[in-house]
Structure 1
Amino acid sequence: MPFYRKPRNFTPLSVESEKKSIKNGLRHAIYTSRLDYYKGEWNNDKKEGKGRFLTIKGYLYEGDWYQGFRHGFGVLSYREAETGIFKLKYRGEWVRGKPEGIGWMYYENGDMYFGYFKRGLRHGYGKMWFKDGTLYVGYWNKDERDGLGMLVERSGNRYEGNWQGSSRHGLGRYYHLHTGQLQEGCWDHGVCVRSKMEDIIIRQFCDLPTPYPIPPQELYDARAILEGSELWLKQRLGDIDKKLQHCIDQMD
């Protein structure tokens, strides 16, 4: 048309090129400024879908992505400098870049954990195999053994009961399977403050059984002993030992 004039408004070439550079779909080779390498799917210039990401330091992640985060199921490994072989570090569920949900964690010192994670920390029910042969099965709270759990030591002895801050804390049982006794009582931050001991049925089949069984507990003339006990006379109805009360309170 002879009266048409081209408008002065236009889109700069830099903006046009930037729009064209927005990544969507599958890309075979994307390098960051620090030479990290990514191959996988994109959505609106963010990693989303399936992808493989290798950092300059040798860490390799293969799995799901969402809005630029490791999110979904994925496997994280690292390359040994001496051999060049990749070793597993974590495989399982991720939420926004951190392990969360169920997964396996492999530690450099040889320990291994399977269970629940939250924000990258062991949290909830899980099993921990230690390099020295110890096994823990139970509950965790922010990477600490917390709640009910069982610890099986390399010697075969085991503790079943309450934990707090990765220490035995509260009511529990400790099986001395090398000598054949069961210890039931109350622990306070790893120290047993009150307990009773008794033989277990398989005492004679243990590695180092005691030469004589624990005799049955009997108290003769109990009434006379109580009537002459200053501790008993000072007690009021409903009173209870403070350390024992502390253990009971942990069960609430």
Structure 2
Amino acid sequence: MPILKQPKKREPLWREWDIKAQKEGIRAPVYSVSGDVYTGEWRNNKKEGKGTQMWKKRGCIYDGDWKEDLRHGFGTYSVKRGDGYMKKYAGGWKNDMRHGYGTNFYSEDEYYEGEWYAGKRSGWGRMYYADGSLYEGEWYNDQKNGRGLIKLSNSNRYEGMWRDDMKNGDGKFLYLDKGQVYTGTWVDDIAKCGCVEDFGREGAPDPPVYPIPECSLQYPRSVIQEARDSLQQ
């Protein structure tokens, strides 16, 4: 006796439409009402994996990794310029913010490469400025904080401690154009106490007319130490 096949049960129409509307895997470009468009991978109706997002009104584009609708992993963020796009940032992301190691371009002549935390320069990094100067050292909360070196366009440089984007603490400023060096303590970018000595004066391009006279104090180091202690208090 032949076995009769049971007719296949059909899902309700609303259920079929709902299944088709779910975003999963790689899909064709998805457009929003504002004109934004995303092309890439999805998981559970959220951007996840590799993808490219273009924001129409903001005039910018992101190409890289996603996790739960947020930029997360490695990616490149670019802004519209003329008929094309200019790279603004390339590097690590976490929870839609710059995080990890990356390079941020502020202009054609000014950029930062180094570590980021929650969208701000934090950790070790190198900042190239438009005037030709360079800072290399520690950062925290988007400012120079910790130990670092800044080299000016005339090759003069400061090596020492920083706080809130200013020289604060012990440091050494080398005036290579004059052939002198200042070693001492700084407070909010101002040298408060220390000593100045000749340093490579013979080979300096613009040395002072007269050398620095010899200090006649009996205990110069003690005087400087007392001044440093008062500043720390």
Same fold (TM over 0.5): yes
Write the distance in 1 (CA, Å) between the matches of 2:64 and 2:42.
13
**1:13-52 alignment to 2 at 5 Å?**
13-14=13-14, 16-52=16-52
Determine helix, strand or coil for the equivalent of 1:30: strand
Asked if 2 retains the 8 angstrom alpha-carbon contact of 1:187 and 1:247, the reply is no
User: 2:76 is matched with which residue?
Assistant: 75
Write the distance in 1 (CA, Å) between the matches of 2:37 and 2:173.
52
Letter in 2 for 1:215: P
Write the distance in 2 (CA, Å) between the matches of 1:144 and 1:12.
59
How many equivalent residue pairs?
219
2:199 counterpart of 1:196: no
User: 2:7 is matched with which residue?
Assistant: none
**1:79-158 alignment to 2 at 5 Å?**
79-80=80-81, 83-108=82-107, 110-158=109-157
User: 1:5 is matched with which residue?
Assistant: none
Letter in 2 for 1:47: K
- Of stretches 16-25 and 127-136 in structure 1, the one that deviates more from structure 2 is 16-25
Write the distance in 2 (CA, Å) between the matches of 1:87 and 1:109.
10
Letter in 2 for 1:217: C
Determine helix, strand or coil for the equivalent of 2:18: helix
- Which one has the bigger strand percentage? 2
Letter in 1 for 2:29: A
Letter in 1 for 2:33: S
2:208 counterpart of 1:205: no
User: 1:60 is matched with which residue?
Assistant: 61
Change (3 A) 1:112 1:247: farther
Write the distance in 1 (CA, Å) between the matches of 2:12 and 2:193.
80
Task: Write out the 4+ residue segments of structure 1 that deviate beyond 6 Å after TM superposition.
Answer: none
Residues 126-150 of structure 1 deviation map (CA, whole Å, 9 limit, x = unaligned):
0000011110001111001001011
Write the distance in 2 (CA, Å) between the matches of 1:137 and 1:248.
26
Asked if 2 retains the 8 angstrom alpha-carbon contact of 1:38 and 1:54, the reply is yes
Unpaired segments ≥5 residues, structure 2: 1-9
Letter in 2 for 1:41: E
Percent of aligned pairs sharing the same letter: 35
Asked if 2 retains the 8 angstrom alpha-carbon contact of 1:171 and 1:248, the reply is no
Write the distance in 1 (CA, Å) between the matches of 2:77 and 2:207.
47
Write the distance in 2 (CA, Å) between the matches of 1:63 and 1:247.
49
- Of stretches 203-212 and 174-183 in structure 1, the one that deviates more from structure 2 is 203-212
Deviation, structure 1 residue 15? 5.1
Change (3 A) 1:67 1:137: same
Write the distance in 2 (CA, Å) between the matches of 1:146 and 1:14.
59
Write the distance in 1 (CA, Å) between the matches of 2:197 and 2:230.
24
- Of stretches 67-76 and 206-215 in structure 1, the one that deviates more from structure 2 is 206-215
Letter in 1 for 2:109: G
Write the distance in 2 (CA, Å) between the matches of 1:141 and 1:247.
23
Write the distance in 1 (CA, Å) between the matches of 2:168 and 2:231.
8
Write the distance in 2 (CA, Å) between the matches of 1:26 and 1:138.
42
Letter in 1 for 2:211: P
* TM-score computed with the length of structure 1 as normaliser: 0.81
**1:218-237 alignment to 2 at 5 Å?**
218-219=216-217, 222=218
Change (3 A) 1:247 1:127: farther
Task: Give the RMSD, CA atoms, in angstroms.
Answer: 2.2
